[in-house]
Amino acid sequence: MMKLAKVAMLITLASASSAAWAQVNMGEQKPEASLPFNMTTVNTFELPWRIAFLPDGRMLITEKVGPIWLVSAKGEKIAMVTNTPAVYWQGQNGMLGVFLSPHYATDQNIYLTYAEPGDYGGGLALGRAKLTLTATTAKLDNYEVLWHQMPKGKGGQEGAQVAFSPDGQFLFLTVGDRQRFTPAQDPNQPEGKILRLTLDGKPAPGNPNYGKTGAATIPLIDPPRDTEAAKTAPVVSTYTFPGPNLTPAETWTMGHRTPYGMAFSPTGELWEIEHGPKGGDKLSLIEKGKNYGWPVVSFGDNYNGVPIPKPNTQPDFALPALYWVPVIAPGNLMFYTGTQTFPQWNGNGFVSGLVTMSLVRIVFDGHGGAKAVQRWEVGHRIRDIEEAPDGSLWMLEDANPGALIHVTPK
């Protein structure tokens, strides 16, 4: 009985902690008076998007316009990676994410996310290849597309972030709403979803609707002007799947807008951050089968001022831990897991801000709770921030040219 009482008390405390930390607006958080780190610009790239660190400290850096660079541990360009796929580069579309396989030490595989060209715009694609390296060259071998959004079409906000499950068996892929709004609530379309796939890009066993198929034909709309117009947006074409529509079987969660950041915490929780419209960026704990509300509800409004119902009006939707009004426009989310260089930040999360040119440090309680504890003005639109093997941080500036910035302790 005593053991059961202790378990019940722990559950109660965890729930209370999570509840106490939930739905906090951090939009008005004041920046710190000074920076506790040095920032050194070491190189520039053309609209850089993501960094992936190789075990030896070298980096792979994507440029939205298409190339992927092999970069030294000091930030020097070594070579452009060859055999990369063609991309649809326009607006928010292009070459986006690069991620090392969880089994890279044995398979040398990397995964790419990008906008794949099509007859009517583009669509998010997930690809995999073996990375073959020398001291001065890098190329992709045996490249294959594992998953792609169909039908392709107009609209930005691809999402394109990947997180591998802690056991290394599955991958989670964020798919943005492509600025079309309503497909985020349509279980037959991948837009506005987080997918859970095998490492080969197939629906993962254990998904909420694993084994189910969706509608054989789905509509395609152009990006409407606001959430209300989206409800009656004209269908510009229909798409018939050549085989079973696997979207329901692939889906882990739905109701997302622009999920640009997603990562597992050191305690095994999956966290995601996304842009709101005019207000309403949010950080959410991602849990199996939940609906996160977009475009039915939002803490923000449409850019043209048309209001959107607030989340507290629809209790069926999952609420975030933190939200931002006004926005920070998050570039990415990462967790620091080092005991060297910045040991005081071990286990903390970092969110980069584009509009606010900031870096936000977040602490997590391991039970679904989060607090934004510091915000630093860094003077650059930060698209990505990642941890190097030596524990230092590297940031990419969203610009052309965009800086590669090394962050070290003062």
pLDDT for position 22? 56
92-96, 100-104, 149-153, 243-247: which has the minimum mean pLDDT?
149-153
Helices (H), 21-154: 104-107
Whether omega for the bond prior to residue 190 falls within 30 degrees of 0, making it cis, is: no
List, for residues 188-210, the tens digit of each pLDDT value: 999 999 999 999 999 999 999 99
- Beta-carbon count within 10 A of 372 CB: 19
Minimal CA–CA distance to 104: which of 131, 123, 73? 131
Whether 78 has a pLDDT exceeding 50, the answer reads: yes
pLDDT for position 120? 87
How much is the average pLDDT of 229-253? 97
Minimal CA–CA distance to 95: which of 396, 357, 406, 407? 396
Q: Which residues pair with 147 in a beta bridge?
A: 126
List, for residues 292-338, the tens digit of each pLDDT value: 999 999 999 999 999 999 999 999 999 999 999 999 999 999 999 99
How much is the average pLDDT of 69-75? 98
Please give the backbone phi and psi of residue 348, each rounded to the nearest 5 degrees, phi first. -80, 155
Whole-Å CA distances, 26 to 31, 148, 186, 389: 11, 35, 30, 31
pLDDT for position 23? 79
Whether omega for the bond prior to residue 326 falls within 30 degrees of 0, making it cis, is: yes
The pTM of this model reads 0.94
pLDDT for position 99? 98
End-to-end CA distance of the chain: 52
- Distance between CA atoms of residues 240 and 153, nearest Å: 14
Specify the DSSP element, H or E, that contains 122: strand 121-133
pLDDT for position 14? 38
How much is the average pLDDT of 158-162? 98
How much is the average pLDDT of 148-169? 95
